[in-house]
Amino acid sequence: MSINTATIAPRALSRPGARPHPLVRLIRHSLVLARRSLIGVVRNPEALIDVTLQPVIFIAMFTYIFGGAITGGSQHDYLQFLLPGILAQTIAFGGVAIGVNLNSDIEKGVFDRFRSLPIARAAPLVGAVLSDVVRYTLLCVVTLGFGYVLGFRAQTGVLEVVAACLLAIAFALCLCWAAVFVGMVARTPGAVQGIMFLVLFPLTFATGTFVPVDTLPSWLQSFTKINPLTHLVDALRGLLLGGPVASDVLWTLGWMAALLVAFVPLALRAYGRRV
């Protein structure tokens, strides 16, 4: 080690001018940390299985195993019916990874470093959520692309298809704050995954994704009416296959707002308290 004392001499860094606005710093720090997460994804591509292979397997499995039985013959008809729902389901599950990753960051002590730095408090969480946009976008491309290969055809225009993807991504960005919160409070990364799966399985199956809602018992139908995933599935179906969407889109946006209002403060508070 060559000794060059100037390298470590404590003195104020020449920081450019006055401190920027706190919101500017939050955005800037979040982007730096989002970039960190993305480098992690590139170095560790198996972390993308949940947004690439999972929708592929779900589409193929349901179309070819259950499709014939459910529609009484036509697997193509079932694919048309199924695909918007699979998009909603897999993008909801895509948020689990963020909670798992944040939990293991805390366990490894990486967050101690961030929390000892003079950065915007929420930046590590916001940065992680921002980087998930890339994962969700990839999921939309894979789901629609694989569906197209199997014969799925959107019945609407390009604008509606793009709108469907944007709605799904935006919904996932709100829902993943629940996973962030669980990631802050659960004891181990495995527990985060367990808790999130326990919540997401009923939420994503008690919808019109796999079967028409009117085939369900009435008590379950009452639940599907308030289930946020039902409205997302129906909104995506409308945007991809045509039909009225306004009511379901509004319901979905309402649920997105509710998820943010509930889980962002909870997650930030748990993050601040986590020892």
Partner 1 sequence: MLSTVTTSTGKAETMDYAIEAEGLLKRYGETQALAGVDLRARPGSVLGVLGPNGAGKTTAVRILATLIRADGGTARVGGFDVVREPAQVRETIGLTGQYASVDELLTGEQNLTMIGQLLDLSRRQARARARELLTWFDLEAAAGRPARTYSGGMRRRLDLAASLVGRPAVVFLDEPTTGLDPSKREEMWRVIRDLVADGSTVLLTTQYLDEADALADEITVIDRGTVVAHDTPQALKRVVGGQRLTVRPADPARLSETAAIIGAIAGAPPERHDAGTTSVPVDGDAALAEAVSRLAEADIAVTELSLHLPSLDDVFFQLTGHDTTDAADAAPELIEEVGGTTREADHALHPVAGVVQ
Binding residues for partner 1 (CB under 8 A): 1-5, 7-16, 19-20, 25, 28-29, 32-33, 35-36, 39-40, 43-44, 107-110, 112-119, 123, 275
**Quick one: tokens of 173?**
């960005």
Backbone angles phi, psi at 118, to 5 degrees: -80, 60
Cβ contact 92:229 at 8 Å: yes
DSSP per-residue letters across 217-228: -HHHHHHHHH-H
**Quick one: tokens of 180?**
């962030």
Shortest Å, Cβ 124 to partner 1: 10
Closer CB to partner 1, 114 or 223, in the complex = 114
Closer CB to partner 1, 1 or 159, in the complex = 1
CA distances from 240 to 59, 65, 81, 158 (A): 16, 23, 10, 9
Shortest Å, Cβ 50 to partner 1: 17
Closer CB to partner 1, 32 or 261, in the complex = 32
Cβ contact 86:59 at 8 Å: yes
Strand boundaries in the chain, DSSP class E: none
The residues, ordered by sequence, that sit 6+ positions from 151 with a Cβ below 8 Å of its Cβ are 76, 79
**Quick one: tokens of 142?**
């894979």
CA distances from 2 to 6, 7, 10 (A): 12, 11, 18
Closer CB to partner 1, 18 or 69, in the complex = 18
Shortest Å, Cβ 105 to partner 1: 8
Closer CB to partner 1, 119 or 169, in the complex = 119
SS3 assignment, position 70: helix
Shortest Å, Cβ 137 to partner 1: 21
Closer CB to partner 1, 190 or 202, in the complex = 190
Residue 19 DSSP label:
P
Q: What is the CA radius of gyration of the chain?
A: 21
Closer CB to partner 1, 246 or 275, in the complex = 275
